[in-house]
Chain A
């Protein structure tokens, strides 16, 4: 349990993990109803259409909620925040907040964030978020 957990892409999620390795946050949008969504799947969660496209997110987000773990996890030393961010395009995702003290005072809900990427294996980069203003 000392090794960090590294995602194993599936055919339906590969575009996302290829995106993070290329420094892009890739979401999907329905060509029929325009719904932007995450996590990845080859059909629209709003209208079930199979006509969907991958697009590059702006990476801009806001801090939606979090906890600060006071227990270590593989690859993580406490205290560290496990955060939900809300992307400008609408979807939310779990991530970590980097370049920021891991304290309630510094981690203000709704603070603006920008995506960055952290390499965790030869092929996998995790999306992370950093504050864009102090």
Chain B
């Protein structure tokens, strides 16, 4: 295990999650930021670096009264905040800043104070995908799965099993949106959205935000909260549109990011106690488990169906309920990080007993980007 460079000393979500018609997207960022500052026992004057997605960094900085000397506006979709965390650690180590605030806020459901959802579509997408009847992520992100099913024999019931396992975690979490126990039959009886994907295999659309405060590991002691250390991190890109994905059964961005993050952290798969895999759709934990190397290609559907990622299983995964059941405002990666931090602090609603190492893995675009962070309760 490597000696960590950086630590998370403040972490919080918005006061409310779910449907928040009384708050603009900007205020979701700020509400989360104020909660994270309070969590860390810091004020805006202590912050000299800022990173955010959705909104421009100058807006968030000015609104909170921060004059940053380091800025990261990377917005590659849902895994942006995992990249921000990685970039912040490097910037702090390089002496560019000392204390970084990372914010996320999205009025994904209520659409208060927002323009149209900016999916960062490119002109390649507009010319070579959009004219063929696509209408957003449920009609695009899902396209690889039939090829995966034919290659490995994954069944629709196993795909539904991902949602069932995550509902078991959500049932333990009072802040989760979908908490009622469910079954494979119920998932397979929900409305067809884009065959083979049914409504309950697709993420929620909700409102919320989250923020993190990052500083150097050696400055993280004697803080208001138990520090959560960043052991290693990585990021990767593959392609701007799903039609050009190299192999529909495996994400190159997942493989590259996951491999480098674990290698940089100096940990092996057996060291990992807790796992978060961004689940905008039910197939993503399947791709994530395989592409990060926790199981072999083609094994993840059965692995999940056997309950091995569910409560009581050997690899607790998406323990907040995930994007399928906890919340998903559009760019979910911040909530995966928040759950990783809670698990490492020992304060999660569905706490994994004795968990010391958490891997948080996110996706951006339609398998276009990935980022991975390895967190630890020990510095």
Contacts and interface: CB of A to CB of B under 8 A. Distances in A.
Are both chains from one complex? yes
Interface of A: 4-10, 13, 39, 64-71, 73, 75-76, 79-80, 82-84, 92-96, 104, 109, 120, 126
Interface stretch (B102-110, B128-136, B228-236, B321-329): B128-136
Interface stretch (B70-78, B160-168, B191-199): B191-199
B379 interface: no
A82 B193 contact: no
A70 B194 contact: yes
10 contacts: A39-B128, A65-B146, A67-B142, A67-B145, A70-B195, A71-B139, A73-B133, A82-B132, A109-B146, A109-B150
Contacts of B129: 94
A73 B130 CA distance: 10
A94 B134 CA distance: 10
Given A10-B123, A92-B243, A93-B243, A67 B146 contact: yes
Interface of B: 123-124, 126-135, 138-140, 142-147, 150, 191-197, 241-244, 248
Given A13-B127, A71-B135, A82-B132, A65 B248 contact: yes
A88 B191 CA distance: 36
A69 B128 contact: no
Contact of B193 (A6, A9, A71): A71
Nearest to B148: A65
A66 B131 contact: no
Contact of B126 (A7, A82, A93, A126): A7
Pairs A-B, 3 closest by C-beta atoms: A76-B133, A68-B195, A65-B147
A64 B147 contact: yes
Contacts of A94: 128-129, 132, 134, 241-243
Contacts of A71: 135, 138-139, 193-194
A126 B131 contact: yes
B122 to A, nearest CB: 10
